[in-house]
Amino acid sequence: MNQLEQLRQYTIVVADTGDFQSIRSFTPRDSTTNPSLIVKAVQKDTYYSLLEKAVRDNRNKPVETIIDNLLVAFGCEILKIVPGRVSTETDARLSFNTEGSIRKGRDLIALYEAAGVSRERVLIKIASTWEGVQAAKVLEKEGIHCNMTLLFSMPQAIACAEAGVQLISPFVGRIYDWYRKATGQEYTGADDPGVQSVKRIYNYYRKFGYKTEVMGASFRNTSQITELAGCDLLTISPELLGRLAESDAPVSRKLSPETAQSDPVERMSVDEKAFRFQLNEDAMGTEKLSEGIRLFCADTRKLEDMIDKLRQQ
């Protein structure tokens, strides 16, 4: 078996792309999207028609309504290909707005349900700020499941688990990027700080019986992926899926509920004050969360500019 086939024995493989053809090629169970991926996709002729339709059908409505319809259009097309779930992101500008995030999550699910898609097949992506976690807590009680994104630290992970969210997406590659830049060192295999972060979170969740799923994300190389074999899910770009499919190097299970029991970590509880202080103490987590929100906001603005140009035609 190639590495991708071996990985599937231990972990659910998810495609991290808005490219339908790539999703078909690698047959993942689920698929994730984000503003950056959608902006990249709609610049291709293959997907530009989805943007045109969203604008045409909602021309006189607010731009945020057009974007919501575009995101759901992508999600519906993806769900025709994958058997599982699609993740759809809320506007990153709502990252510190609990009520706004709740409203946006409800609006997106309403659009999916109007299109005949069950809410069980959708994960609403929300940034892992304190306000985002509180929004997800409310949405989960309504049966609207959430994927907490831009997650870089243990206090974020603990807050998400205690809120009962469906899934978290710790960003392996962006953690790696920060430490590589900060130290000038190269990290590989089990020494990779991003890999170590996800292992700590996974072991904590499994040791203390949290049901929240852990989905490693934002990979830079296949070593980061294979070191997390056994994680609940891993969302992987088409490029790295291709590399895994081309290699027949052995992949062994690294994470399991059984081995998590031997982790010496002690149980912690995180209220708002502890969350904010502990995250502030973590320079990497603080910087990467802020940077991630800014980047997603910038890509949403790019999408708005594309919509404005179309509406003027």
pLDDT tens column, 74-96: 999 999 999 999 999 999 999 99
Mean pLDDT confidence for 198-211: 98
Positive/negative CA dihedral, 11, 227, 125, 54: negative
**94: Cβ contacts below 8 Å, ≥ 6 apart:** 100, 101, 104
Mean pLDDT confidence for 171-194: 97
By C-alpha distance, which of 311, 313, 307 is closest to 42?
A: 307
What separation in angstroms does the CA of 200 have from each of 88, 146, 168, 231?
26, 21, 13, 11
CB–CB of 20/49 below 8 Å? no
Q: Which of 125, 137, 207, 254 is catalytic?
A: 125
For the question of residue 125 being annotated catalytic, the response is yes
pLDDT in tens, 20-73: 999 999 999 999 999 899 999 999 999 999 999 999 999 999 999 999 999 999
pLDDT in tens, 209-232: 999 999 999 999 999 999 999 999
Q: Enter the DSSP assignment of 29.
A: S
pLDDT more than 70, % of the chain:
100
pLDDT level of residue 278 (50, 70, 90 thresholds): very high
Q: Calculate ∠ Cα 69-126-90, nearest 5°.
A: 20
C-alpha to C-alpha distance for 149 and 29, rounded to whole angstroms: 19
C-alpha to C-alpha distance for 28 and 297, rounded to whole angstroms: 28
pLDDT level of residue 245 (50, 70, 90 thresholds): very high
pLDDT for residue 97: 98
Half-sphere exposure of 133 toward its Cβ, with a 13 Å CA cutoff? 23
Between 313 and 134, residue with greater pLDDT: 134
Mean pLDDT confidence for 130-139: 98
CB–CB of 42/66 below 8 Å? no
pLDDT for residue 302: 96
pLDDT for residue 123: 98
Round the average pLDDT of the chain to a whole number and report it.
97
Positive/negative CA dihedral, 256, 258, 264, 269: positive
pLDDT for residue 247: 98
Looking only at the bridges linking them, the beta strands covering 86-89 and 146-151 are unpaired
Residue 313 above 90 pLDDT?
Answer: no
Q: Any idea which residue has 């997907």 for tokens?
A: 47
Extract the tokens encoding 65.
């309504």
Alpha-carbon dihedral angle through residues 66, 72, 74, 78, given to the nearest 10 degrees: 180
Centroid of chain to Cα 104:
17
Mean pLDDT confidence for 140-159: 98
Residue 246 above 90 pLDDT?
Answer: yes
Residue 158 above 90 pLDDT?
Answer: yes
Extract the tokens encoding 72.
């759901």
Domains, the chain, in order of start with CATH, read 3-311 (3.20.20.70)
